[in-house]
Structure 1
Amino acid sequence: MERRELLKMIALLTGGVMIGGNALLTGCNQGHNTLKNNFFTEDEIDFLNEVSETILPETGSPGAKAANVGQFMSVMVKDCYEPNDQKAFQEGIKKLDLACEKMHQTGFMKVSPEQRLSLLLSLEKEAKTYQLKKPELEEAERKKNKDFPGLPNHYFIMMKQLTMLGYFTSEAGCTKALRYIAVPGRYEGSVPYKKGDKAWA
Protein backbone atom coordinates (compact mmCIF):
# COMPACT_ATOMS: atom_id res chain seq x y z
CA MET A 1 0.00 0.00 0.00
CA GLU A 2 1.43 3.41 -0.92
CA ARG A 3 1.94 6.00 1.81
CA ARG A 4 -0.47 8.47 0.18
CA GLU A 5 -3.23 5.85 -0.02
CA LEU A 6 -2.66 4.84 3.60
CA LEU A 7 -2.97 8.46 4.75
CA LYS A 8 -6.25 8.80 2.83
CA MET A 9 -7.57 5.61 4.44
CA ILE A 10 -6.68 6.79 7.95
CA ALA A 11 -8.23 10.21 7.34
CA LEU A 12 -11.42 8.52 6.15
CA LEU A 13 -11.56 6.18 9.17
CA THR A 14 -10.98 8.97 11.69
CA GLY A 15 -13.17 11.55 9.99
CA GLY A 16 -10.52 14.19 9.38
CA VAL A 17 -7.25 15.12 7.72
CA MET A 18 -4.21 13.05 8.74
CA ILE A 19 -2.38 15.21 11.29
CA GLY A 20 1.27 15.59 10.28
CA GLY A 21 0.42 14.19 6.84
CA ASN A 22 2.42 16.80 4.92
CA ALA A 23 5.53 15.99 6.91
CA LEU A 24 5.00 12.29 6.22
CA LEU A 25 4.84 12.91 2.49
CA THR A 26 7.77 15.31 2.31
CA GLY A 27 9.99 13.87 5.06
CA CYS A 28 9.93 14.26 8.80
CA ASN A 29 12.36 15.75 11.32
CA GLN A 30 11.78 19.32 10.23
CA GLY A 31 13.52 20.88 13.21
CA HIS A 32 10.48 22.03 15.20
CA ASN A 33 10.76 19.62 18.12
CA THR A 34 9.74 21.36 21.34
CA LEU A 35 9.21 18.32 23.55
CA LYS A 36 10.71 18.48 27.01
CA ASN A 37 13.93 16.44 27.23
CA ASN A 38 13.43 15.51 23.56
CA PHE A 39 11.81 12.14 24.33
CA PHE A 40 8.90 10.24 25.85
CA THR A 41 9.59 8.20 28.97
CA GLU A 42 9.38 4.39 28.93
CA ASP A 43 6.25 4.65 31.09
CA GLU A 44 4.64 6.98 28.54
CA ILE A 45 5.51 4.59 25.70
CA ASP A 46 4.03 1.67 27.68
CA PHE A 47 0.92 3.79 28.26
CA LEU A 48 0.63 4.55 24.53
CA ASN A 49 1.03 0.86 23.73
CA GLU A 50 -1.94 0.07 25.99
CA VAL A 51 -4.03 2.84 24.41
CA SER A 52 -3.17 1.55 20.93
CA GLU A 53 -3.99 -2.03 21.95
CA THR A 54 -7.44 -0.85 23.05
CA ILE A 55 -7.94 0.77 19.64
CA LEU A 56 -6.58 -2.23 17.67
CA PRO A 57 -6.66 -5.27 20.01
CA GLU A 58 -5.27 -8.71 19.31
CA THR A 59 -7.86 -10.87 17.54
CA GLY A 60 -6.99 -13.43 14.85
CA SER A 61 -3.91 -11.30 14.19
CA PRO A 62 -1.51 -9.49 16.56
CA GLY A 63 -2.69 -6.23 18.11
CA ALA A 64 -1.06 -2.80 18.06
CA LYS A 65 0.94 -3.52 21.21
CA ALA A 66 2.71 -6.41 19.46
CA ALA A 67 3.89 -3.89 16.85
CA ASN A 68 5.18 -1.55 19.62
CA VAL A 69 3.02 1.26 18.25
CA GLY A 70 3.74 3.35 21.37
CA GLN A 71 7.38 3.68 20.31
CA PHE A 72 6.29 4.56 16.78
CA MET A 73 4.00 7.29 18.13
CA SER A 74 6.81 8.85 20.16
CA VAL A 75 9.04 9.12 17.08
CA MET A 76 6.27 10.49 14.85
CA VAL A 77 5.18 13.13 17.37
CA LYS A 78 8.77 14.33 17.84
CA ASP A 79 9.68 14.36 14.16
CA CYS A 80 6.48 15.16 12.25
CA TYR A 81 4.13 17.22 14.43
CA GLU A 82 3.93 20.99 14.76
CA PRO A 83 4.87 22.38 18.20
CA ASN A 84 1.29 23.00 19.39
CA ASP A 85 0.30 19.44 18.42
CA GLN A 86 3.42 18.02 20.10
CA LYS A 87 2.46 19.76 23.32
CA ALA A 88 -1.21 18.72 23.05
CA PHE A 89 -0.22 15.10 22.45
CA GLN A 90 2.16 14.95 25.42
CA GLU A 91 -0.37 16.64 27.71
CA GLY A 92 -3.02 14.30 26.29
CA ILE A 93 -1.38 11.32 28.00
CA LYS A 94 -2.11 12.91 31.39
CA LYS A 95 -5.56 14.09 30.28
CA LEU A 96 -6.53 10.59 29.16
CA ASP A 97 -5.42 9.14 32.50
CA LEU A 98 -7.35 11.82 34.43
CA ALA A 99 -10.45 11.16 32.30
CA CYS A 100 -10.15 7.48 33.22
CA GLU A 101 -9.92 8.32 36.93
CA LYS A 102 -13.00 10.50 36.60
CA MET A 103 -14.97 7.78 34.77
CA HIS A 104 -13.70 4.64 36.53
CA GLN A 105 -12.11 5.96 39.77
CA THR A 106 -8.66 4.65 38.82
CA GLY A 107 -5.93 5.18 36.21
CA PHE A 108 -5.96 3.77 32.68
CA MET A 109 -3.26 1.16 33.35
CA LYS A 110 -5.34 -0.42 36.14
CA VAL A 111 -8.77 -0.70 34.53
CA SER A 112 -10.20 -3.63 32.57
CA PRO A 113 -10.17 -3.81 28.74
CA GLU A 114 -13.92 -3.13 28.73
CA GLN A 115 -13.48 -0.01 30.88
CA ARG A 116 -10.64 1.17 28.64
CA LEU A 117 -12.84 0.77 25.59
CA SER A 118 -15.76 2.69 27.13
CA LEU A 119 -13.38 5.54 28.01
CA LEU A 120 -11.88 5.71 24.51
CA LEU A 121 -15.32 5.69 22.91
CA SER A 122 -16.32 8.69 25.03
CA LEU A 123 -13.06 10.47 24.16
CA GLU A 124 -13.65 9.81 20.47
CA LYS A 125 -17.02 11.58 20.66
CA GLU A 126 -15.41 14.48 22.53
CA ALA A 127 -12.59 14.68 19.97
CA LYS A 128 -14.95 14.70 16.97
CA THR A 129 -17.01 17.52 18.50
CA TYR A 130 -13.84 19.52 19.20
CA GLN A 131 -12.43 19.00 15.69
CA LEU A 132 -15.72 20.16 14.13
CA LYS A 133 -15.79 23.36 16.22
CA LYS A 134 -12.06 24.05 15.82
CA PRO A 135 -12.19 26.06 12.52
CA GLU A 136 -14.91 28.34 13.90
CA LEU A 137 -13.00 28.93 17.15
CA GLU A 138 -9.79 29.64 15.22
CA GLU A 139 -11.54 32.13 12.95
CA ALA A 140 -12.92 33.99 15.98
CA GLU A 141 -9.45 34.15 17.54
CA ARG A 142 -7.85 35.39 14.32
CA LYS A 143 -10.29 38.29 14.22
CA LYS A 144 -8.85 39.40 17.56
CA ASN A 145 -5.25 38.47 16.79
CA LYS A 146 -3.95 38.09 13.22
CA ASP A 147 -0.84 36.27 14.48
CA PHE A 148 -2.87 33.58 16.28
CA PRO A 149 -1.02 30.30 15.45
CA GLY A 150 -4.11 28.10 15.57
CA LEU A 151 -5.51 25.62 18.06
CA PRO A 152 -3.91 22.22 18.53
CA ASN A 153 -5.71 19.11 17.36
CA HIS A 154 -7.43 16.88 19.92
CA TYR A 155 -4.96 14.46 21.46
CA PHE A 156 -7.19 11.41 21.00
CA ILE A 157 -7.55 11.96 17.24
CA MET A 158 -3.74 12.06 17.02
CA MET A 159 -3.41 8.88 19.10
CA LYS A 160 -5.95 7.03 16.97
CA GLN A 161 -4.41 8.13 13.67
CA LEU A 162 -0.90 7.20 14.77
CA THR A 163 -2.12 3.84 16.07
CA MET A 164 -3.50 2.95 12.65
CA LEU A 165 -0.53 4.35 10.74
CA GLY A 166 1.96 2.61 13.03
CA TYR A 167 0.15 -0.71 12.97
CA PHE A 168 -0.59 -0.95 9.26
CA THR A 169 2.99 -0.01 8.33
CA SER A 170 4.51 -2.50 10.82
CA GLU A 171 5.60 -6.02 9.95
CA ALA A 172 2.81 -7.48 12.11
CA GLY A 173 0.16 -5.28 10.50
CA CYS A 174 1.33 -5.83 6.92
CA THR A 175 1.92 -9.57 7.11
CA LYS A 176 -0.70 -10.72 9.64
CA ALA A 177 -3.63 -8.27 9.42
CA LEU A 178 -3.37 -7.58 5.67
CA ARG A 179 -2.81 -9.88 2.70
CA TYR A 180 0.84 -9.52 1.82
CA ILE A 181 2.98 -10.60 -1.13
CA ALA A 182 6.64 -9.66 -0.67
CA VAL A 183 7.39 -9.68 -4.40
CA PRO A 184 4.26 -9.27 -6.53
CA GLY A 185 4.06 -11.44 -9.63
CA ARG A 186 2.07 -10.77 -12.77
CA TYR A 187 -0.63 -8.11 -12.99
CA GLU A 188 -4.15 -9.32 -12.24
CA GLY A 189 -6.83 -6.75 -12.99
CA SER A 190 -9.69 -8.70 -11.45
CA VAL A 191 -9.14 -10.62 -8.21
CA PRO A 192 -12.11 -12.47 -6.71
CA TYR A 193 -13.28 -11.02 -3.39
CA LYS A 194 -15.04 -12.97 -0.67
CA LYS A 195 -16.78 -11.24 2.21
CA GLY A 196 -14.36 -11.00 5.14
CA ASP A 197 -11.18 -11.11 3.02
CA LYS A 198 -8.30 -9.00 4.32
CA ALA A 199 -7.22 -5.87 2.46
CA TRP A 200 -3.96 -6.01 0.50
CA ALA A 201 -0.76 -4.57 1.97
Structure 2
Amino acid sequence: MATCAKLSRREAFAGVAFAGLAFTVGALSFGLAQPAAAQGLTWAPVALTPAQARALDAAAEQIMPATETPGARAAGVPQFVDRAIAGWCDKGQAALLRAGLDGLDADARAAHAAAFADLTAAEQTAILAGYDSSGARQRPFFLTLRELVTIGYFTSRPGATVALRYDPIPGPYRGCVPLKEIGRGWAI
Protein backbone atom coordinates (compact mmCIF):
# COMPACT_ATOMS: atom_id res chain seq x y z
CA MET A 1 0.00 0.00 0.00
CA ALA A 2 1.41 3.34 -1.07
CA THR A 3 1.48 6.16 1.39
CA CYS A 4 1.23 9.82 0.61
CA ALA A 5 3.77 12.18 2.03
CA LYS A 6 2.25 14.99 4.04
CA LEU A 7 2.77 18.40 2.52
CA SER A 8 3.18 21.48 4.59
CA ARG A 9 0.99 24.43 3.76
CA ARG A 10 4.02 26.30 2.39
CA GLU A 11 4.89 23.41 0.04
CA ALA A 12 1.28 23.16 -1.19
CA PHE A 13 1.09 26.89 -1.94
CA ALA A 14 4.45 26.76 -3.70
CA GLY A 15 3.17 23.94 -5.91
CA VAL A 16 -0.03 25.80 -6.77
CA ALA A 17 1.90 28.99 -7.51
CA PHE A 18 4.34 27.11 -9.76
CA ALA A 19 1.48 25.42 -11.65
CA GLY A 20 -0.25 28.77 -12.20
CA LEU A 21 2.97 30.38 -13.39
CA ALA A 22 3.67 27.47 -15.73
CA PHE A 23 0.16 27.70 -17.23
CA THR A 24 0.42 31.48 -17.71
CA VAL A 25 3.83 31.27 -19.37
CA GLY A 26 2.61 28.44 -21.58
CA ALA A 27 -0.57 30.29 -22.54
CA LEU A 28 1.36 33.45 -23.36
CA SER A 29 3.94 31.65 -25.43
CA PHE A 30 1.24 29.88 -27.46
CA GLY A 31 -0.81 33.08 -27.85
CA LEU A 32 -3.76 31.75 -25.87
CA ALA A 33 -3.92 34.77 -23.60
CA GLN A 34 -2.67 38.31 -23.66
CA PRO A 35 -1.91 40.23 -20.51
CA ALA A 36 -4.34 43.08 -19.89
CA ALA A 37 -1.48 45.59 -19.68
CA ALA A 38 -0.56 44.80 -23.27
CA GLN A 39 -4.10 45.71 -24.29
CA GLY A 40 -3.97 49.06 -22.45
CA LEU A 41 -6.38 47.89 -19.76
CA THR A 42 -5.93 47.28 -16.06
CA TRP A 43 -8.59 44.53 -16.12
CA ALA A 44 -9.27 41.43 -18.19
CA PRO A 45 -12.56 41.45 -20.15
CA VAL A 46 -14.97 38.54 -19.72
CA ALA A 47 -17.60 39.08 -22.43
CA LEU A 48 -15.84 41.53 -24.74
CA THR A 49 -12.88 41.44 -27.07
CA PRO A 50 -9.86 43.52 -26.02
CA ALA A 51 -10.73 46.20 -28.62
CA GLN A 52 -14.35 46.37 -27.41
CA ALA A 53 -13.16 46.56 -23.80
CA ARG A 54 -10.82 49.46 -24.62
CA ALA A 55 -13.65 51.32 -26.38
CA LEU A 56 -15.95 50.65 -23.42
CA ASP A 57 -13.32 51.87 -20.96
CA ALA A 58 -12.85 55.13 -22.86
CA ALA A 59 -16.59 55.70 -23.46
CA ALA A 60 -17.47 55.05 -19.82
CA GLU A 61 -14.86 57.58 -18.72
CA GLN A 62 -16.36 60.16 -21.10
CA ILE A 63 -19.89 59.50 -19.79
CA MET A 64 -18.79 59.72 -16.11
CA PRO A 65 -15.50 61.64 -16.15
CA ALA A 66 -13.28 62.17 -13.14
CA THR A 67 -13.82 65.57 -11.56
CA GLU A 68 -13.58 66.26 -7.85
CA THR A 69 -15.17 62.81 -7.59
CA PRO A 70 -13.73 59.61 -9.11
CA GLY A 71 -14.65 58.82 -12.70
CA ALA A 72 -16.11 55.65 -14.19
CA ARG A 73 -12.72 54.03 -14.66
CA ALA A 74 -11.74 54.54 -11.01
CA ALA A 75 -15.14 53.22 -9.89
CA GLY A 76 -14.74 50.00 -11.92
CA VAL A 77 -17.68 50.76 -14.21
CA PRO A 78 -16.19 49.20 -17.38
CA GLN A 79 -15.74 45.91 -15.51
CA PHE A 80 -19.34 46.18 -14.25
CA VAL A 81 -20.66 46.68 -17.80
CA ASP A 82 -18.53 43.78 -19.08
CA ARG A 83 -19.91 41.48 -16.37
CA ALA A 84 -23.46 42.72 -17.11
CA ILE A 85 -23.02 41.81 -20.77
CA ALA A 86 -21.69 38.38 -19.78
CA GLY A 87 -24.32 37.43 -17.23
CA TRP A 88 -27.26 39.83 -17.06
CA CYS A 89 -28.09 41.25 -20.51
CA ASP A 90 -30.25 39.19 -22.81
CA LYS A 91 -28.76 38.14 -26.15
CA GLY A 92 -30.25 41.09 -28.01
CA GLN A 93 -28.85 43.67 -25.56
CA ALA A 94 -25.46 41.96 -25.51
CA ALA A 95 -25.34 41.94 -29.32
CA LEU A 96 -26.43 45.61 -29.42
CA LEU A 97 -23.66 46.61 -27.00
CA ARG A 98 -20.95 44.57 -28.74
CA ALA A 99 -21.95 45.91 -32.17
CA GLY A 100 -22.11 49.45 -30.77
CA LEU A 101 -18.61 49.19 -29.30
CA ASP A 102 -17.34 47.88 -32.64
CA GLY A 103 -19.15 50.80 -34.29
CA LEU A 104 -17.42 53.28 -31.97
CA ASP A 105 -14.06 52.01 -33.16
CA ALA A 106 -15.16 51.97 -36.81
CA ASP A 107 -16.50 55.53 -36.62
CA ALA A 108 -13.36 56.72 -34.85
CA ARG A 109 -11.14 55.10 -37.50
CA ALA A 110 -13.24 56.63 -40.30
CA ALA A 111 -13.12 60.12 -38.79
CA HIS A 112 -9.66 60.19 -37.18
CA ALA A 113 -7.76 57.09 -38.41
CA ALA A 114 -7.38 55.76 -34.86
CA ALA A 115 -9.25 53.52 -32.43
CA PHE A 116 -11.81 55.23 -30.19
CA ALA A 117 -9.68 54.66 -27.08
CA ASP A 118 -6.70 56.37 -28.77
CA LEU A 119 -8.56 59.61 -29.59
CA THR A 120 -8.37 62.79 -27.57
CA ALA A 121 -11.12 63.48 -25.04
CA ALA A 122 -12.62 66.16 -27.31
CA GLU A 123 -12.75 63.76 -30.28
CA GLN A 124 -14.33 61.03 -28.12
CA THR A 125 -16.91 63.48 -26.79
CA ALA A 126 -17.79 64.62 -30.31
CA ILE A 127 -18.42 61.04 -31.46
CA LEU A 128 -20.53 60.24 -28.39
CA ALA A 129 -22.50 63.49 -28.80
CA GLY A 130 -23.30 62.39 -32.36
CA TYR A 131 -24.53 59.05 -31.01
CA ASP A 132 -26.77 60.88 -28.53
CA SER A 133 -28.55 62.98 -31.16
CA SER A 134 -32.17 61.98 -31.67
CA GLY A 135 -31.83 60.89 -35.31
CA ALA A 136 -28.65 58.84 -34.94
CA ARG A 137 -28.82 55.15 -35.83
CA GLN A 138 -26.53 54.42 -32.84
CA ARG A 139 -28.90 56.06 -30.34
CA PRO A 140 -30.32 52.76 -28.91
CA PHE A 141 -26.75 51.56 -28.27
CA PHE A 142 -25.76 54.84 -26.64
CA LEU A 143 -28.84 54.99 -24.41
CA THR A 144 -28.26 51.41 -23.23
CA LEU A 145 -24.57 52.06 -22.62
CA ARG A 146 -25.27 55.31 -20.77
CA GLU A 147 -27.85 53.57 -18.59
CA LEU A 148 -25.46 50.75 -17.66
CA VAL A 149 -22.63 53.21 -16.97
CA THR A 150 -24.89 55.29 -14.73
CA ILE A 151 -26.15 52.26 -12.81
CA GLY A 152 -22.62 50.89 -12.48
CA TYR A 153 -21.26 54.21 -11.26
CA PHE A 154 -23.87 55.02 -8.64
CA THR A 155 -23.92 51.48 -7.26
CA SER A 156 -20.13 51.40 -6.90
CA ARG A 157 -18.49 52.35 -3.62
CA PRO A 158 -17.00 55.63 -4.95
CA GLY A 159 -20.25 56.58 -6.65
CA ALA A 160 -22.41 55.81 -3.61
CA THR A 161 -20.13 57.30 -0.97
CA VAL A 162 -18.16 60.09 -2.70
CA ALA A 163 -20.38 61.35 -5.54
CA LEU A 164 -23.58 60.94 -3.55
CA ARG A 165 -24.08 61.77 0.09
CA TYR A 166 -24.35 58.62 2.13
CA ASP A 167 -26.37 58.55 5.31
CA PRO A 168 -27.26 55.01 6.36
CA ILE A 169 -29.80 56.26 8.91
CA PRO A 170 -31.32 59.57 7.78
CA GLY A 171 -32.13 61.93 10.59
CA PRO A 172 -31.02 61.77 14.20
CA TYR A 173 -32.12 58.92 16.42
CA ARG A 174 -34.06 60.04 19.47
CA GLY A 175 -35.07 56.94 21.36
CA CYS A 176 -37.26 58.43 24.02
CA VAL A 177 -39.45 61.29 22.80
CA PRO A 178 -42.18 62.74 25.01
CA LEU A 179 -45.65 62.16 23.58
CA LYS A 180 -46.37 65.91 23.85
CA GLU A 181 -43.77 66.58 21.11
CA ILE A 182 -45.29 64.01 18.76
CA GLY A 183 -48.96 64.57 19.44
CA ARG A 184 -51.22 61.62 18.84
CA GLY A 185 -49.81 58.16 18.29
CA TRP A 186 -49.50 56.72 14.81
CA ALA A 187 -51.69 53.90 13.48
CA ILE A 188 -50.22 51.39 11.10
TM-score range normalised by the length of the shorter chain: 0.5 to 0.7
Residue type at the aligned position of 2:135: T
The CA distance in 2 between the partners of 1:185 and 1:114, in whole Å, is 43
The CA distance in 1 between the partners of 2:57 and 2:167, in whole Å, is 27
Match of 1:63 in 2: 71
Q: C-alpha offsets along residues 135-183 of structure 1, whole Å, 9 cap, x if unaligned?
A: xxxxxxxxxxxxxxxxxx8222111111101001100111111111244
State the TM-score, normalized to the length of structure 1.
0.57
Go from structure 1 to structure 2 and tell me whether the alpha carbon gap of 1:174 and 1:156 turns closer, same or farther (over 3 Å shift): same
1:51 to 52, 55, 59: 59
Residues 52 and 102 in structure 2, CA contact (< 8 A), matched pair in contact too: no
Residue 105 of structure 1, CA deviation? 2.5
SS of residue paired to 1:129: coil
Please give the root-mean-square deviation of Cα atoms over the aligned residues, in Å: 2.4
Match of 1:199 in 2: none
Match of 1:111 in 2: 119
- Structure 1 stretches of 4+ with a deviation exceeding 6 A read none
The CA distance in 2 between the partners of 1:154 and 1:57, in whole Å, is 21
Percent of pairs with identical residues: 28
Residues 52 and 69 in structure 1, CA contact (< 8 A), matched pair in contact too: yes
The CA distance in 2 between the partners of 1:101 and 1:130, in whole Å, is 18
The CA distance in 2 between the partners of 1:116 and 1:39, in whole Å, is 23
The CA distance in 2 between the partners of 1:59 and 1:40, in whole Å, is 27
The CA distance in 1 between the partners of 2:149 and 2:78, in whole Å, is 8
SS of residue paired to 1:154: helix
Higher Cα radius of gyration: 2
SS of residue paired to 2:101: helix
The CA distance in 1 between the partners of 2:104 and 2:55, in whole Å, is 10
Q: How does 1:116-195 map to 2 (within 5 A)?
A: 116-125=124-133, 128-129=134-135, 154-186=140-172
Between 111-120 and 77-86, report the one with greater CA deviation: 77-86
Question: Number of aligned pairs?
Answer: 128
Larger RCO, structures 1/2 (Cα 8 Å, 6+ apart): 1
State the TM-score, normalized to the length of structure 2.
0.60
Go from structure 1 to structure 2 and tell me whether the alpha carbon gap of 1:124 and 1:90 turns closer, same or farther (over 3 Å shift): same
Match of 1:87 in 2: 95
Go from structure 1 to structure 2 and tell me whether the alpha carbon gap of 1:93 and 1:129 turns closer, same or farther (over 3 Å shift): same
The CA distance in 1 between the partners of 2:77 and 2:48, in whole Å, is 13
Go from structure 1 to structure 2 and tell me whether the alpha carbon gap of 1:44 and 1:68 turns closer, same or farther (over 3 Å shift): farther
SS of residue paired to 2:107: helix
Q: How does 1:17-56 map to 2 (within 5 A)?
A: 39-56=47-64
